[in-house]
Amino acid sequence: MKKFDNLINSFYIIILPLIVAISMDLTPYSKSIESFWQQLNQNKNTTQSNIWTENAFVILRHQPWQSPLWQQLAEDQYKQNDFLGSIYSFKQVEILQPLSAKQKIMLGNALWNTNQLEDAYSTWQGILEVSDIKEDDFQELVQIQQSANDWYGAYLTLLKWQQLFPESTEMVTPLLLSQVIFDPSAAQKTLLSIKNGKLQTISGDLELILENENPVYQLILAGNIFSKINQWNYAVVAYANATRLDPEYAEGWAFYGNALTNTGENGYFALEKALTLSPQSKIARAYLASYWRSQNDIVKSLEIYQSLTDEEPDQPVWQQELGNTYISSGNLDKALQAFINAVEVDPSNAYNWITLARFCGDFRIEIQAIGLPAARQALIIDDQNWEANDVIGWLFLLLDDYTSAERFLTLAYEIAPESDIVNLHLGQLFVLQDKKELAAYFLNRSIEFSESKEIIRLARNFLSP
C-alpha cells in the first residue's frame, strides 16, 4: 500500500506542472501569445505604433529568443526617437546574433543622443569589423562621425573605406583633407591621385607642413590650407587641436574663433581668449573685427580695422577690410575709396587691382572709369592670372561687349577650367547669346565644381527656362 501511495505522489509531482502550465497558458506557442502575434501583424502597418510596441514587449517577455522581433522593435524605437529603448533592444539582439552595419550605426546614434559618447565612438568604430559593410555605409558613417566631432574616428573609417573600396571616388577628397591633419605625408600621395585643380593648389602648403617639425604650427598651417579652399569644418578641427596642444598660443585661439564664425558657430569665446592672452595681437584683433562685422556691429568692426590701418598704413589688407565693412554698412562711396586706397598702398599687387575691379562690377559702380582700368592693370602685372582674365571678361559682359568678354573668359577658362566662377560667367555669356547647349555645359560645370551656395543658386537660375 505504501508503494502505491508513493507512486500516486510521484504521479502528482510529474503531472502537476503540466496541469499548471495548461491552466495558465504557459506553453511556448500558447493561444494567448498567438493572439498577440496576430495583433502585432495587424497593427504594424497602422498608426497604432504604441499598440504594436506593447504587443511586441508581451511576446518578447515570453519568447525572448525572437531575434527578428527584437530587431524590428529596436529599429521602430529608434525611428520614434526612443533612444534608450532602442539601445536596450539592440543589446538584446546582440546577445542572440551580431548586429549588421546599419544596426550598429543606429545603435551608435542612439548612444550619442543619450550622451553616452565613448560608447557611441566605440560602437561606430566597431562597424569597421562588420562583414556586411557596404560603401554606402562608409559614406554615412563618416558623415555621422564628423558631425559628432569624432574626426579621428572618421579618419580611421576613411582608411578602411580606402582599403575595401580602393576605386571609390567619394572617399578620396575627405580622406585627403583628413590626412592633412592626421598624416600629412600620406596626404601628398593621395593628392597625386586627385585631378581636382582646386585641391592641387595645396601642394606647396603641404610641403611647408612637412618641412616644419612643430606639431602646433603644422596644425595651424593645415587650418590655413582649409581656410584657403573654403573647408571651414576641417579648419575648425585643425585649429582646435592646435589650441589643445598649446593652450597659451593666442593666435591659435584667434584662428580657431574665426573658423568657428565661418561655419556659422559662435567663435567669440575663442577670440576673447586670444585677446586675453595677447591684447595687441593683430591677428586676434582683425578676426574680432570680422566677428563684429558678421554680427552687424559695424561701429566696433570699423573701430578695430581703422586702428590696424593707422598702425600699419603700408598694409593694403586693412584698407580692403575697411572696404568690406563699409559694404556691410551700405556706404558704397567709402567702400570704393577704401579699395582705391589699397591699390595706392601697394600698386604692384595684382590682387589689389582685381579686388577693386570686382567691387565695381558687383555694385555696378564706375565700371568704365575705374573697374576696367583696374582689371587691365592686374593683367599688366600678371597676364596669366586667371582671376584677372575672369574679372575683365565679366566686366565686358556687364557692358554688353560679348566679343571681348568671350576672349578674356576663354583665357581664364584655359588657365582654370575647374573654377566655378569662370564657368558661371561663361554660362551667363552664352545664355545672353542664346547659345543654349554651351550655356548649359558651363553652368552645369559651375555647379559641379562649386561649394558656394550663391554660385550654385545663380547657375541654376540661369539654367531655368
Instruction: Please list the pLDDT of the chain residue by residue as tens digits (465 residues).
Output: 555 455 555 555 555 555 544 444 444 455 555 554 545 555 555 444 666 676 676 666 766 787 787 788 888 888 888 899 889 888 888 888 888 889 899 999 999 999 998 999 999 998 988 888 888 999 999 999 999 999 999 999 999 999 999 988 889 999 999 999 999 999 988 888 777 667 777 888 889 999 998 999 999 999 999 999 889 999 999 999 999 999 999 999 999 999 999 999 999 999 999 999 999 999 999 999 999 999 999 999 999 999 999 999 999 999 999 999 999 999 999 999 999 999 999 999 999 999 999 999 999 999 999 999 999 999 999 999 999 999 999 999 999 999 999 999 999 999 999 999 999 999 999 999 999 999 999 999 999 998 888 999 999 999 986
Which residue from 453, 454, 396 is spatially nearest to 426, judged by alpha carbons? 396
Q: Are 325 and 305 in contact (CB under 8 A)?
A: yes
Q: Which domain holds residue 437?
A: 417-465
Q: What pLDDT is recorded for position 57? A: 65
Q: Are 153 and 124 in contact (CB under 8 A)?
A: yes
Amino acid at 58: V
Distance (Å) of CA 200 to CA 42, 53, 440: 59, 54, 26
How open is the CA angle 430-431-432, to the nearest 5 degrees?
A: 90
pLDDT digits (tens, 9 = 90+) for 323-337: 999 999 999 999 999
Q: In a 3-state reduction of DSSP, which class is residue 191?
A: helix
Is 465 within a domain?
yes
Q: Which cell numbers hold the place of 142? A: 563618416
Is 128 within a domain?
no
Q: CA-CA distance, 290 to 325, in Å (whole number)?
A: 8
Distance of CA 136 to the CA centre of its chain: 17
Q: What pLDDT is recorded for position 26? A: 47
The H or E element containing residue 234 is helix 232-245
Is 140 within a domain?
no
Q: CA-CA distance, 327 to 339, in Å (whole number)?
A: 11
What's the first-to-final CA gap in the chain, in angstroms?
Answer: 105
Is 371 within a domain?
no
pLDDT digits (tens, 9 = 90+) for 371-420: 999 999 999 999 999 999 999 999 999 999 999 999 999 999 999 999 99
Is 448 within a domain?
yes
Half-sphere exposure in the Cβ direction for 273 (13 Å, CA): 19
Q: In a 3-state reduction of DSSP, which class is residue 391?
A: helix
Q: What pLDDT is recorded for position 14? A: 58
Q: What pLDDT is recorded for position 6? A: 57
Q: What pLDDT is recorded for position 67? A: 77
Distance of CA 35 to the CA centre of its chain: 49
Q: CA-CA distance, 71 to 79, in Å (whole number)?
A: 12
Q: CA-CA distance, 400 to 417, in Å (whole number)?
A: 23
Phi, psi angle pair for 61, to nearest 5°: -65, -35
Is 278 within a domain?
no
Q: In a 3-state reduction of DSSP, which class is residue 193?
A: coil
Q: CA-CA distance, 111 to 103, in Å (whole number)?
A: 12
Residue 369 is given by DSSP the state: I
Is 390 within a domain?
no
Q: Which cell numbers hold the place of 271? A: 577670440
Is 449 within a domain?
yes
Q: Where on the phi/psi map is residue 116: left (φ > 0), alpha (ψ -120 to 50), or beta? A: beta
Q: CA-CA distance, 268 to 260, in Å (whole number)?
A: 9
Half-sphere exposure in the Cβ direction for 320 (13 Å, CA): 19
Q: What pLDDT is recorded for position 98? A: 87
Q: What pLDDT is recorded for position 352? A: 97
Half-sphere exposure in the Cβ direction for 313 (13 Å, CA): 2
Long-range pairs for 153-162 at CB < 8 Å and ≥24 separation?
Answer: 153/121, 153/124, 153/125, 154/178, 155/179, 155/181, 155/182, 156/125, 156/128, 157/124, 157/125, 157/127, 157/128, 160/128, 161/135
Q: How many domains does the chain have?
A: 1
Which residue from 35, 84, 24, 95 is spatially nearest to 59, judged by alpha carbons? 35
